[in-house]
Structure 1
Amino acid sequence: MLPETQGAAVPQDANHWLREILTAPVYDVARRTPLEPASRLSARLGNQIWLKREDLQPVFSFKLRGAYNRMRQLEPAERAAGVVAVSAGNHAQGVALAARELGVSAVIVMPQTTPRIKIQAVEALGARIELCGDSYSDAAARGDAIAATEGRRLIPPFDDAAVIAGQGTVAMELIADHRGRIDAVFVPVGGGGLCAGMAVYLKALDPSIRIVAVEPEDAACLAAALEAGRPVPLDQVGLFVDGCAVRQVGDITFALLRDRVDEVVTVSVDQVCAAIRDIFEDTRSIVEPAGALALAGMKRWIARSGAENGDLVAVLSGANMNFDRLGHISERAEVGGEHEALFGVTIPEETGSFLRFCRTIGRRSITEFNYRFRAAHEAQVYVGVQLGSAAERVAIRETLVGAGYAVADYTQNEVARLHVRHMVGGPAPALERERLFRFEFPERPGALFQFLETLGTRWNITMFHYRNRAAAYGRVLAGFAVKEAEDAAFEADLARLGFWFSEETGNPALRQFLL
């Protein structure tokens, strides 16, 4: 049995971890998931690509391995008192399933922003659910309170030796099922439990296997810890890859990873969306963003390193995703897979100008076309073009510039992709001064009311656009009439609101189409 490691020295002995992983009783609840070749990806990327299918677990995620291993090691008195866990997703389902199998009472604390599909999945497993606050930290405070008042054992999602050993059984299966040499294994990282468990096992058996940790660009807590030499909190965490949206890597997981991970690769939202589509095309299965993270990192690593003819493994960590998010993912996958380019083009406002513009683009598929009259002699066009290759994006821009058009490439402009493409309009000439901001709204009743109560009673809202695809947070673009002398008071109200925001007044896409 693993010792308690919170606040104590973390065991580093390889034999210790091999023994704990090999004897972890996870198969009481977990499946031995397949290691499948990805033929389409292999042919396209010039390497033999393997997918470790943890999305096929009973709760559609690897998380039940660690949760069950931790709960099997509870003392009789702890089992009698019950457990509590804080999670908005896969860990919650793992704990709930383990509790049902072991006959243990479980309370799962979730933020109020948790999508209904995840709440229903946990309810179906028989756990008691409490919804608390808008964020994980709010829910965590409630979980600590329940543990203290009800005497329940808190089951951590990643920073626990037994949890790490349970997750390490993924690597045990991988080694057993693969024939021949493995050059690199790509593992998604949130708090680091899966990567730590796999890394200690793989490096103990074959130190030559390259361990590549993959993180979202906007939630790279392991990369930050490695740079600082210790776990450090991130100021902000992106929420799209919700299964890996962790502000700080665990103390135990970092102690195991710092000398075992060979490198960290970070990827964008668009690259994750493209990887979700890649997986679907090879397997006809749809994974969640965290489930595709490792493959997105592998693709970026191959492009950067020029690797060829290697045996590379990506762990598909989960498939718990709302159906309503698929539209947004499909839209972003076009850009992430370099299948679509987005341009803002100024064309003459005269008869035949559209036809001449389309002739200049040539016989390419137009994915989007938005037009706005701007002045007596010119018009603004927001156009999406389907690409056959990444080089074609540059070629299209050069062709348009060569034909005399003023062209801006907005393919990588977040505001242009999330908002402007749905809002092509024009300036509001009566406004003396306007400031534009992006916000992330928690998806709960009262969020809009809180926004309006804080900012809408004193400041004139000049524009408002909301976008959400069944995520915990919605995206908002809003404009305000603010005189220069009022900036300090307005910014104080922004801070009081408490929502994430970013000023976009100078964004070139907004200036071309909306200002």
Structure 2
Amino acid sequence: MAEHAITLQDVERAARTIQGQVLRTPLVPAPRLSQITGASVCVKHENMQPTGSFKERGAANKLESLTSEERQRGVIAMSAGNHAQAVAYHARRLGIPAVIVMPESAPLVKAENTRSYGARVVLFGETLYESAARAREIAAAEGLVFVHPYDDPRVMAGQGTIALEMLADAPDLDQIVVPIGGGGLISGIAIAAKALKPSIEIIGVEAALYPSFTNAIRGEDRPIGGATLAEGIAVKTVGQLPLPVVRDLVSDIILVEEPLIERAVNAYATLQRTMAEGAGAAGLAAMLAEPDRFKSKQVGLVLCGGNIDARILASVMVRELERDDRIASFRITSHDRPGLLGRVASLLGDLGANILEVSHGRLFLDVPAKGVSIDITIETRDRQHTFEVFEALKAEGLAPQRIDSRCLSETAY
């Protein structure tokens, strides 16, 4: 086993350093999530930190270690958003000038929040790799201290304090499920948790579009890149300090596809009543992807961040309603006669369906000259209710054609 960059003592020292500077977040039982996963689930709510993510722990530990001369010079960091906010927040608290380089694609809410904490924000590049290169250029030119988001022992140790708190609150945990980006979070947690409880399993989760650690550890060559909801863990290059820790101490890495990440974000909002960004929900997505891996176990989920744009969250929740057939769209094509729309609306009302949207079409070439098409979107109680509504429409001779998320269905529902 390779020598690791940090030890349990480093994590314990970090816990003393950040005490009173970072919120000790609650570990909350999640009965509804337990019900859908078949495990006994509790959630570590790092989304309750002032800047909305676990990144405050590592940032605070790193910044507290700087000398007076380094603090006067200032710091610089590169980040897609959460590390940026954490560094900016604690730099302002400590009176340290901060510059943050973020990809141009960084979520607007994260960029604006970072500015609100007093940091100078530089948007540069399409990826974190390009942002990192620019940050190092600025650091060299301006004499700033570079605060890496994961390839730094003090940052890793700070993130590892999560494990100390989780095992103090729930010493019977069998597994801790941790999202993986660059590896700072999971490596810190693994060092602390395995030292305190060698039998515990640490399970990592990567977005399927960014299997960086999977490739590095398994010697695979999966493609990396693409638009993911989990931009917080969309990292192409693994941390060199976290890598040996993950290789030695992490039991497994699960890759999760985008639909399951969306489902997990929605589940946190509707079942746990809490905000989770895509990266923050990745652990739950892994449990949904491989339920047998967690069945009947005591599982701790690290909800590592809740900084999700309100528009994206709304879109995710509506898309999940569509996947569950609680929102459905269909088209009726018929003779254009008075009262048709009223008849359809009355029928839907009698069936208990809520009409969300109606569109009349008379000029489409695939509609007869004396015909009309009506596109209707409805909300129902559940999939069975939707089926009953469509069956009733068919019984009335209206022959509804389902419009799914991609196109008009070739057949009636």
Instruction: Tell me the TM-score normalised to structure 1 length.
Output: 0.65
1:249 counterpart SS class: coil
Equivalent position of 2:7 in the other structure: 17
Kindly indicate whether residue 72 of structure 2 is the aligned counterpart of residue 83 of structure 1. no
Equivalent position of 2:156 in the other structure: 164
**Alignment CA distance shift 1:314-1:369 (3 Å):** farther
What amino acid is the match of 2:234?
Answer: A
Indicate conservation of the 8 Å contact 2:77/2:101, yes or no: yes
> How far does residue 364 in structure 1 lie from its aligned partner after superposition?
8.0
C-alpha distance in structure 2 between counterparts of 1:52 and 1:62, whole Å = 10
Kindly indicate whether residue 131 of structure 2 is the aligned counterpart of residue 139 of structure 1. yes
2:62 to 70, 81, 87: 70
1:268 to 243, 254, 257: 257
**Alignment CA distance shift 1:72-1:387 (3 Å):** same
1:123 to 115, 124, 141: 115
**Alignment CA distance shift 1:206-1:339 (3 Å):** farther
Kindly indicate whether residue 213 of structure 2 is the aligned counterpart of residue 222 of structure 1. yes
Kindly indicate whether residue 313 of structure 2 is the aligned counterpart of residue 326 of structure 1. yes
For 1:1-400, list aligned pairs within 5 A: 11-12=3-4, 17-24=7-14, 25-179=17-171, 181-228=172-219, 234-302=223-291, 305=292, 307-335=294-322, 338-340=324-326, 365=353, 374=366, 376=368, 388=382
> How far does residue 378 in structure 1 lie from its aligned partner after superposition?
11
Indicate conservation of the 8 Å contact 1:189/1:214, yes or no: yes
C-alpha distance in structure 2 between counterparts of 1:219 and 1:210, whole Å = 23
**Alignment CA distance shift 1:511-1:279 (3 Å):** closer
RMSD (Å) for aligned C-alpha atoms = 3.9
For structure 1, which runs of at least 5 residues remain unmatched after alignment? 1-8, 417-508
For 1:397-436, list aligned pairs within 5 A: 410=404, 416=406
> How far does residue 171 in structure 1 lie from its aligned partner after superposition?
0.7
Indicate conservation of the 8 Å contact 1:184/1:209, yes or no: yes
Indicate conservation of the 8 Å contact 2:179/2:204, yes or no: yes
C-alpha distance in structure 2 between counterparts of 1:281 and 1:406, whole Å = 31
Write the deviation string for residues 318-357 of structure 1: whole angstroms up to 9, x where unpaired: 1222223232122122256x35486888x7756899999x
2:41 counterpart SS class: strand
**Alignment CA distance shift 1:400-1:160 (3 Å):** farther
For structure 2, which runs of at least 5 residues remain unmatched after alignment? none
2:199 counterpart SS class: coil
Indicate conservation of the 8 Å contact 1:157/1:163, yes or no: yes
> How far does residue 80 in structure 1 lie from its aligned partner after superposition?
3.3
Write the deviation string for residues 294-327 of structure 1: whole angstroms up to 9, x where unpaired: 222222222xx17543211111111222223232
> How far does residue 128 in structure 1 lie from its aligned partner after superposition?
2.4
C-alpha distance in structure 1 between counterparts of 2:195 and 2:53, whole Å = 25
Indicate conservation of the 8 Å contact 1:271/1:333, yes or no: no
Instruction: Tell me the TM-score normalised to structure 2 length.
Output: 0.79
User: Between the two proteins, what is the percent identity of the paired residues?
Assistant: 32
**Alignment CA distance shift 1:312-1:400 (3 Å):** farther
1:224 counterpart SS class: helix
**Alignment CA distance shift 1:348-1:162 (3 Å):** same
1:55 counterpart SS class: helix
C-alpha distance in structure 1 between counterparts of 2:153 and 2:222, whole Å = 21
C-alpha distance in structure 2 between counterparts of 1:409 and 1:256, whole Å = 49
C-alpha distance in structure 1 between counterparts of 2:33 and 2:88, whole Å = 35
**Alignment CA distance shift 1:41-1:114 (3 Å):** closer
C-alpha distance in structure 2 between counterparts of 1:183 and 1:395, whole Å = 43
Indicate conservation of the 8 Å contact 1:59/1:93, yes or no: yes
Write the deviation string for residues 462-504 of structure 1: whole angstroms up to 9, x where unpaired: xxxxxxxxxxxxxxxxxxxxxxxxxxxxxxxxxxxxxxxxxxx
Indicate conservation of the 8 Å contact 2:207/2:228, yes or no: no
C-alpha distance in structure 1 between counterparts of 2:154 and 2:264, whole Å = 31
Indicate conservation of the 8 Å contact 1:368/1:385, yes or no: no
- Matched residue pairs, number? 397
Indicate conservation of the 8 Å contact 1:107/1:128, yes or no: yes
> How far does residue 268 in structure 1 lie from its aligned partner after superposition?
3.2
Write the deviation string for residues 210-257 of structure 1: whole angstroms up to 9, x where unpaired: 22212222223222333326xx79542324222122222222222211
What amino acid is the match of 1:224?
Answer: N
1:219 counterpart SS class: coil
